[in-house]
Structure 1
C-alpha cells in the first residue's frame, strides 16, 4: 500500500509518542549507590548468573539480552556493577562486592507461584497477583479463585459483547472485564474487591495477620471437602461467642472494633481497587494499652490455618485485604508492636522510580535540535552542513515525483539513502 510522506511522518511521530509513554524516565544512573531500596527488578536470562538488575541497567547495559521483569522487590540492590555478573556495567564501571543482603527466591530462576511454573507472557492465560509480604507472584487458580485452565495456550480473543440487552450488559460489565483478558470466568473474588493479597505462608508466619484472617476486610476462600466447590468464607455471626486470643493480654481481647462505617459484607463486591498512599494515624503512635479492638477470631479461618489432617474445612489460607485495611488494624499495646515488625502493614511503601526524561515526548525534530545544542561548536557546524546537504539532495530527489504526481514508496526511499551511503563511501576513499 502506497504511503504519502505526510503519512510516514505522522507514523514516526506516533512511534515517538508511544516510546515516551512506555519509557518516560532517564536510564543513566545505576541505583547501586542508593543501597537496598524497593525498586523494579529485572532478571537477565542471557547472563548465566541469576541476578537482578535495576531499570537503568536493564536498558543501558543489557539491552540486547533476554530479560524477565520481576516487578518491585523491597530491600534490593542492583547486581549489575558487582563481581557476580560477567557483563560489565556501562553506568558504573567500578566493580563492587556481591550484594549479600539481597534475597534471591525462585523468581530469579524464572519460576513463580506455589506451583513453580515458569512465566511466559505470550502463553500465560491467568492473572497473577503479588503477595504484599513476600512479594512472590501467584496464579489466581493456585489461590483457588478460579478453576485452573486446561491448557497453557495463548490468550484467546476477548469475549463478544452482548448488544441485545443493555441492562444485562451493565450488570455483567465488571465480571466481563475480569474475564475478558484471559477468556476465563470471573474469579470468586474480583480485583476490585481487595487492595492487597497475602499468601498463606506469610499469613501463618505473621501472628497479627493470622488472627485477622476471615474477619471483616480479610476475605478467604474455603471448601468443606476435596470434592466440594470453592467458595468465599462467610463472616462469623455477631451473636457467636468470642474466642479467646492468647497473645493479647487485654481483658477486652476479641472485642469488636467500633467503626464509622458498617463492616463490608463478604458476599458483596467491595470498592474499586486503586493505588493510594496511606500514613499511620495518630493512634499508631499512641496505642491504648488497656483495650484491644481486634475483631473476634473466625473459627473456620483458624481451622484452615492450623492445617489439621482431620479438619472439617479446607483452604490454602490466603487472605485478600479490602481497601483501607491499614486504617482498620487494632493499635493496642499488644497489636501495634506486631504491626511495626512489618512496616508494610502500617504504611504503603515507596518504590523508587528513575527521574523523568526531559526529552520524553519531544518530536524527532526537537530531539535533533536538542542533540545539536549539546555538541561542541565545531561539531555542531559540521552537523548543520551535513543536514543542509542531505536536505538539498532530498529536495532534488523528490522534485521529479512531485512534478509527475508519483507516490514515493519504500523502495524509492531506500534507494535514496543507498545513494547517499555510496556517495559518502566514495568521498571517504577520495
Structure 2
C-alpha cells in the first residue's frame, strides 16, 4: 500500500511539473525569441523581463522583451515578469545609459506609455518582498492581479483564497477601489456570491432617484416625469393646446422615452436598483466569464476609460488568451518540424490517412446523432479501436498483393 501511495504521489508530482512546464512554454511561445518587439510598438501582451545586472542606483524601471533577454542580456541576472499588457521594449534606451540593444539599436529615448511597478525591481506584493524570497521558508504561492499585474502572496490578499477547479481571475483590493463600480458587479458575479441586501431605508431613496430622473445624451437630465409627460405644458383657456405646444409635448415625450430606454439598457444601474451589496474589503476572485457581464453602454465605457480599465472589455486581453495563442504556436511548430522531416510519399500518405479518418469520424458522429445516442468516451474509444483494426486488416491484405 505504501508503494502504491508513493507511486501515486510521484505521478502527481510529474503531472504538476509538466503542467508548469507547459504554462511556461506557452508564455514564451507567444513572444518572438529572436526579433526585438520594439518595432511592433506597444504590444497588447508579451513576455517581459527586467535586468538586474544592467540596473544602476537611481535608475528608472525598465523592461525588455524575450528576444532582448535572450540576446542582449544573455548571462545577466534577469527577473522574469511573466506577461505585461501594452508594453514596448526598453532595451538600449536612455535609461540603460551607454548599453545598446543588439537587435534594434534605433529606439526612442523613452517609452512614455509603459506602466511600471516594483516588479521591475524584483519586488512583489503589498509586502514589497523579492521572489524567490530567501526569508520565506514555505515558498508561498503567489497570484497575479489582472488589472495592476502585480503578484500577491495568498496571505496578503485580504480574503480567503478561493479553491476552485474552474479558472478564476483576481482583482486586488487597491484596483477594486480605483474602479469602484466593480464592487457592484462583485456582489452578483464574483466568487463567492453575496446574498445579503442593503437596508431598505438606504436602498429605497437611491432607487427612487434613479427611476425619477434619467440621464440625457447631452449630459443633462430630463425633468421628473409627471402624469402628463416629462414637462407639464400650459394649456389654452378652453383646455386645447396650440400646434407648437403639441409639438413640444411630443418632442419631450420622445426625449423622455429615449432617456428611459438608455437607462434601462445600463446593466450597472439595473444591478444597483436590486440592492445586493458586498463588503468593500479584500481582493476579489471572479469566474472567467465575468467580463461578459460588464455593461457596454456609453456612460460605462467612459467610466472604464477614466479608471484605466477599458481593457476589461477586450476578450484577447486575458492571460489565458495569450497562453492559448502560445500553445497553438507550439503545436504548429511541432507539426511543421515533424512533417517537414518526412519525404513526399510519407507526407501524402499522412494526408490521405488523416482525410480518411476525418470522413469516418464524421460518419460515426452522424450515425450516433441519427440514433439519438450520446457521444460517450466509451463510444469514441470503440471507434478508434475499430479504426485500428481496419488499418491492420488493410495492412495484412496488402502483404499478399504481388505485382
1:218 pairs with 183, 190, 198, which one? 190
Taking the aligned partners of 1:81 and 1:209, their CA distance within structure 2 comes to: 39
Quick check: 1:47 aligned with 2:57? no
CA drift at 1:32: 1.1
Preserved contact between residue 53 and residue 78 of structure 1 (Cα < 8 Å): yes
The answer for the alignment partner of 1:114 in structure 2 is 126
What aligned pairs does 1:159-198 form with structure 2 within 5 A after superposition?
Answer: 187=161, 189-193=162-166, 195-198=168-171
Give me the TM-score of the superposition, normalised by structure 1: 0.48
CA drift at 1:205: 1.5
Partner deviation per Cα, 1:29-49 (whole Å, 9 max, x = no partner): 111121122322101111124
Partner deviation per Cα, 1:105-146 (whole Å, 9 max, x = no partner): 111111111111111178662222211211111111111455
1:335 pairs with 294, 300, 321, which one? 300
Partner deviation per Cα, 1:325-380 (whole Å, 9 max, x = no partner): 122223455434324553222123447789969987859xx7xxxxxxxxxxxxxx
Partner deviation per Cα, 1:265-307 (whole Å, 9 max, x = no partner): xxxxxxxxxxxxxxxxxxxxxx951314332476763xx43xx
The answer for the alignment partner of 2:100 in structure 1 is 88
Question: Cα distance 1:46–1:326, how it changes in 2: closer, same or farther (>3 A)?
Answer: same
Quick check: 1:346 aligned with 2:313? yes
- Which ranges in structure 2 are unaligned for 5 or more consecutive residues? 1-20, 214-259, 342-403
Q: CA RMSD in A?
A: 4.1
CA drift at 1:193: 5.0
Q: Which has the higher helix share?
A: 2
Taking the aligned partners of 1:197 and 1:245, their CA distance within structure 2 comes to: 33
Question: Cα distance 1:84–1:330, how it changes in 2: closer, same or farther (>3 A)?
Answer: closer
Quick check: 1:243 aligned with 2:203? yes
Preserved contact between residue 194 and residue 277 of structure 2 (Cα < 8 Å): no
Taking the aligned partners of 1:125 and 1:321, their CA distance within structure 2 comes to: 25
Preserved contact between residue 43 and residue 51 of structure 1 (Cα < 8 Å): yes
* DSSP 3-state at the match of 1:78: coil
* DSSP 3-state at the match of 1:43: strand
- Which ranges in structure 1 are unaligned for 5 or more consecutive residues? 1-16, 147-186, 220-231, 254-286, 306-314, 367-430
Taking the aligned partners of 1:288 and 1:218, their CA distance within structure 2 comes to: 27
Preserved contact between residue 195 and residue 276 of structure 2 (Cα < 8 Å): no
Taking the aligned partners of 2:102 and 2:111, their CA distance within structure 1 comes to: 18
1:34 pairs with 17, 35, 40, which one? 40
Quick check: 1:320 aligned with 2:334? no
* DSSP 3-state at the match of 2:68: helix
Preserved contact between residue 288 and residue 333 of structure 1 (Cα < 8 Å): no
Aligned residue pair count: 250
Taking the aligned partners of 1:252 and 1:321, their CA distance within structure 2 comes to: 33
Preserved contact between residue 123 and residue 130 of structure 2 (Cα < 8 Å): yes
Preserved contact between residue 145 and residue 169 of structure 2 (Cα < 8 Å): yes
Give me the TM-score of the superposition, normalised by structure 2: 0.51
Preserved contact between residue 170 and residue 286 of structure 2 (Cα < 8 Å): yes
Taking the aligned partners of 1:209 and 1:103, their CA distance within structure 2 comes to: 22
